[in-house]
C-alpha cells in the first residue's frame, strides 16, 4: 500500500467547525421520527440489514448483531459528494464517497436486532443525514450475499439529486489532489480513504479504484510534503493479502 499512516498524519491540520451552510435546511427531530417510522413500516417483519461500503464499515454509529460480506450490483463507489464541513472546509472543499450507477460494489451488511429496529434506524439516519437536500440519497438496495442469497439492505448516499453531488464523475487523477489537501474539523479526506482501504482489506475486499486512488493520493502527499512523507513502512501499513478475486 502506497498511502501510509505517516502520510495521512501530514494531511491533518486543525480546522474550526464552520457550522451548517446557510443554504441548508436542517432536519428536525420530527423529520427524523417521520423518516424512521417510514422505514420501519417499509421493512415490516423482515430482517433489517444496513449496507456499508465506506466509513460505516469502521465507524457505523449504530448497534448490530451480525455482519457479513455482500455485493450491490449496478452500483460502484465514487468520490462524488462535495463537502465543506467535517473532512473539508469552505476554503478547501473535500469529497466523500457515495454509490454511483454502474458496476458493482463489494461491502458489508450489518443486521440490526429485530426488537431494536426503530432506535438503530434513527441512529443511522442522524449519522448520515443532516439536511433536507439529502432526503433522496437513501434507499433499500438488493444485495447479494456470499451464500448466493439476495436481501434488501438500507443504503445511504445511493444516487439522489442533492446539489452537492458532483456530476459528471471526475477521473481519479482529479480526485486525488482534492483528497490529499482537504481537511475539516473531523479529520482529512486522506484519512477517510486510508481507513476505508485498510478496513476493506481486513474482509478480503480490494476495490481496484480505491487501490489506484490511494496510490495517486500518496504521490500528491509526497509532492506537497517532500521528505517528511518518507518513513519506513510499519505493520499498520501492511495490508493482509487479498482473498477476493472479485474486484469492483
Helix ranges restricted to H, 61-102 = none
Q: What gap in Å lies between CA 90 and CA 176, rounded to an integer?
A: 18
Tell me the pLDDT tens digit for each residue of 25-46.
999 999 999 999 999 999 999 9
Answer yes or no: are the C-beta atoms of 185 and 91 closer than 8 Å: no
**Section 142-153 average pLDDT:** 95
Burial letters 203-229, b for 16+ CB under 10 A, else e: bebbbebbbebbebbbbbbbeeeeeeb
The model carries a pTM of 0.90
* Higher-scoring residue by pLDDT: 244, 27: 27
Residue with cell 456470499: 146
What lies within 8 Å, CB to CB, of 128 at 6+ separation is 134, 138, 156, 157
238 compared with 114, residue with greater pLDDT: 114
Name the grid cell of 18: 464552520
- Whole-angstrom distance, CA of residue 36 vs CA of residue 128: 13
Cα separation of 131 and 180, whole Å?
Answer: 27
Return the higher-pLDDT residue of 163 and 71: 71
Phi, psi of 13 (to 5 degrees): -150, 155
- Residue 20, Ramachandran bin (φ over 0: left; ψ between -120 and 50: alpha; else beta): beta
Q: Is the pLDDT confidence value at 232 over 80?
A: no
Tell me if the bond preceding 196 is cis, omega within 30° of 0: no
Please choose, from the candidates 59, 156, 177, the residue with its C-alpha nearest in 3D space to the C-alpha of residue 99: 156
CA–chain centroid gap for 71, Å, is 15
Beta-carbon count within 10 A of 94 CB: 25
Residue 139, beta-bridge partner list: 155
Which residue ranges form the domains of the chain, and what is each CATH number? 5-237 (3.10.490.10)
Residue 239 binned pLDDT confidence (cut-offs 50, 70, 90): low
Q: Distances from the Cα of 43 to the Cαs of 24, 141, 165, 238, in angstroms?
A: 29, 12, 27, 40
Amino acid at each position: 500500500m502506497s498511502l501510509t499512516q505517516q502520510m495521512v498524519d501530514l494531511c491533518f491540520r486543525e480546522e474550526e467547525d464552520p457550522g451548517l451552510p446557510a443554504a441548508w435546511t436542517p432536519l428536525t427531530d420530527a423529520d427524523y421520527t417521520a423518516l424512521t417510522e417510514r422505514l420501519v413500516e417499509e421493512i415490516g417483519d423482515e430482517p433489517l440489514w444496513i449496507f456499508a461500503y465506506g466509513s460505516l464499515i469502521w465507524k457505523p454509529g449504530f448497534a448490530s448483531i451480525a455482519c457479513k460480506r455482500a455485493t450491490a450490483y449496478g452500483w460502484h463507489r465514487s468520490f462524488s459528494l462535495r463537502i465543506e464541513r467535517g473532512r473539508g472546509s469552505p476554503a478547501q472543499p473535500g469529497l466523500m464517497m457515495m454509490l454511483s450507477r454502474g458496476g458493482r460494489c463489494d461491502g458489508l451488511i450489518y443486521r440490526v436486532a429485530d426488537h431494536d429496529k426503530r432506535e438503530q434506524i434513527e441512529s443511522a439516519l442522524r449519522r448520515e443525514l443532516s439536511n433536507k437536500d439529502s432526503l433522496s440519497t437513501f434507499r433499500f438496495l438488493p444485495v447479494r450475499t456470499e451464500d448466493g442469497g439476495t436481501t434488501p439492505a438500507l443504503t445511504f448516499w445511493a444516487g439522489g439529486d442533492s446539489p452537492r453531488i458532483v456530476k459528471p464523475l471526475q477521473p481519479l487523477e482529479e480526485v486525488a489532489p482534492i483528497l490529499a489537501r482537504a481537511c475539516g474539523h473531523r479529520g482529512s479526506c486522506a484519512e477517510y480513504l486510508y481507513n476505508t482501504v485498510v478496513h476493506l482489506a481486513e474482509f478480503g475486499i480490494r476495490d481496484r479504484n480505491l487501490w489506484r486512488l490511494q496510490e495517486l493520493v500518496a504521490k500528491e502527499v509526497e509532492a506537497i510534503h517532500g521528505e517528511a512523507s518518507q518513513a519506513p513502512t510499519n505493520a499498520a501499513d501492511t495490508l493482509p493479502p487479498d482473498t477476493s478475486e472479485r474486484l469492483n
